[in-house]
Amino acid sequence: MGRNNSNRGSGNSNRGGGGKGKAMKYEIRADIKVNGTVQRKDIIGAIMGQTEGLLGDDLELRKLQRTARVGHVDVEMDTKNGKVHGTIIIPSSMDNVETAIIASSLETIDRIGPCNAIIKVVQISDIRATKRTAVVDRAKELLLTLVNSGEAASKTVIEEVRSVLTVGTAKSFHGLTCGPNVESSSSLIIVEGRNDVRNLLNCGVKNAISADGSGNIKQELIDLANGKEIVTVAIDGDRGGEMLFMQLYDMMKVDHVAQAPVGQEWELLPQKTVTMCLQKKTEASKFKHQLDKKIAEHDEKFGGNKDWDKDMDEEFEKEAAPAEIQELFDKVDEMGKNKAIIRFADGTFSDEIGPSKLEAALGEAEEVETVLINGSVTEKVLNYVNQSSANTLVGTKEGKGFAASEDLTVWFAEVHR
């Protein structure tokens, strides 16, 4: 109970709201079960990739999103016993017939990466009646952003100035963001997105080009790569990066692979790490062999049982926290941003603790029962808590690198409230 590896999309989902001037009318909710451990980006990538070309150009999901007829795909999911169960949420501004067609196309997806999957549409609901609630929630979010913006502004001055210089040197190659030397250089570095290109430019690497994620790889990129002496694919340190490599390897010339450290992305790597990863690149054929072996082992473990979904609930339901935890959620709301509080075994609470002092405070404290965090629970914070005697962690939402621990019960206000 409560040991949760929940992953909920945030920020850009247009649930109940409009995009680019178009109000969303309907919301598609589909239940998804996956026989293996996948990430949110894997599910979204499968939805975009496997429905492409199925319904014709007029109902192609990427085109519908660009014209705001379909909002961002959101996924709420929970991982348990090596399987994923969750809900896919897609807002639509189209009419009811077109929305129903999009919904039915989801049920044609039977694999997420190497894993078997089952998708079943639960309902299509009319969300226009909920607009007022969406406006109120958005107003709260904007107010919090306004209140907190002053603190963050001074920390990002250097980054903002640097980004202006970087954007100035970035080019476009048939719509793909790239460095200025991608055509003239004898070697090419292919990354996932435009922010990866800009970070590499910031580090002095001028021959990188974005693939714009997995899915429809442009023929111009394939031709460019096939004409280079050396092609290196620089992938993030996660399953999504590995899936992108597999796709590119099958479509074009790839000589080497440079993978970011586990859980990290190229767009956020400092220059020292960028240089190290590029120097330690491995042969693509060798990396492909290791990846094929890994996928085969995964398939053998999770793909052999045809009834793998029988022990899972009929529909995904978020686990609600008990009353005691709900009270702690209220206390978290009253705390300062990114502050922590320790609750001891006798029921007393510590004073608020800043992020820089949390590790020391937990190391010195005795009989720690619960740790409260008003903010994202990152891998670093999780390590601090795991080193204490705490058995419960109450936070706002998952942060970068978060992974569930068997010895720690974790509750998130954004998921379990």
**Residue-level pLDDT at 112:** 87
Q: How confident is the model at residue 232 (pLDDT cuts 50, 70, 90)?
A: very high
Question: Regarding predicted confidence, which is higher, 19 or 301?
Answer: 301
Which residues belong to CATH 3.40.1360.10 in the chain?
A: 157-289
Report which of 13, 383, 396, 48 is spatially closest to residue 213, judged by C-alpha positions.
48
**Residue-level pLDDT at 316:** 73
Longest CA–CA span in the chain (Å) reads 69
**Residue-level pLDDT at 255:** 94
**Residue-level pLDDT at 210:** 92
β-bridge pairing 230-235 and 187-191: parallel
| Burial annotation 157-187 (CB, 10 A radius, 16+ → b, else e) | eeeeeeeeebeeebbebeebbbbeebeebee
**Residue-level pLDDT at 283:** 94
Please tell me the least confidently modeled range out of 65-74, 195-204, 399-408.
Answer: 399-408
Rounded Cα distance between 277 and 232, Å, is 11
- The answer, yes or no, to whether residue 7 has pLDDT greater than 70, is no
Please tell me the least confidently modeled range out of 41-50, 107-116, 283-292, 312-321.
Answer: 312-321
**Residue-level pLDDT at 29:** 92
Q: What average pLDDT score do residues 295-313 get?
A: 69
Q: Does domain 157-289 have CATH number 3.30.300.30?
A: no
- The answer, yes or no, to whether residue 160 has pLDDT greater than 90, is no
Q: Give the right CATH number for 7-129 from 3.40.50.10890, 3.30.70.60, 3.40.50.1100, 3.10.20.30.
A: 3.30.70.60
**Residue-level pLDDT at 302:** 60
- The answer, yes or no, to whether residue 303 has pLDDT greater than 60, is no
- The answer, yes or no, to whether residue 149 has pLDDT greater than 60, is no
Cβ-Cβ contacts under 8 Å for 55 (sequence gap 6 or more):
101, 102, 105
Question: Regarding predicted confidence, which is higher, 1 or 228?
Answer: 228
Question: Regarding predicted confidence, which is higher, 13 or 84?
Answer: 84
**Residue-level pLDDT at 61:** 86
DSSP letter for 57, please: G
Cβ-Cβ contacts under 8 Å for 32 (sequence gap 6 or more):
43, 75, 77, 84, 85, 86, 87, 88, 117, 118, 119, 316
Which residues belong to CATH 3.40.140.20 in the chain?
A: 323-416
Q: How confident is the model at residue 131 (pLDDT cuts 50, 70, 90)?
A: low
Which residues belong to CATH 3.30.70.60 in the chain?
A: 7-129
Cβ-Cβ contacts under 8 Å for 89 (sequence gap 6 or more):
9, 13, 15, 27, 28, 29, 73, 74, 75, 76
Across all residues in the chain, what is the average pLDDT? Answer: 82
Q: What average pLDDT score do residues 378-403 get?
A: 86
Please classify residue 401 by burial: count the beta carbons closer than 10 Å to its beta carbon, then call 0-12 exposed, 13-18 middle and 19+ buried.
middle
List, for residues 39-74, the tens digit of each pLDDT value.
888 898 888 888 887 888 888 888 888 888 888 888
Q: List C-alpha distances in Å: 230 to 175, 191, 330, 340.
A: 22, 14, 56, 49
**Residue-level pLDDT at 20:** 41
Q: Give the right CATH number for 323-416 from 3.20.20.450, 3.40.462.20, 3.90.79.10, 3.40.140.20.
A: 3.40.140.20
Phi and psi for 279 in degrees, rounded to 5?
A: -70, -30
**Residue-level pLDDT at 132:** 66
- The answer, yes or no, to whether residue 394 has pLDDT greater than 60, is yes
Is the pTM higher than 0.85? The answer reads no
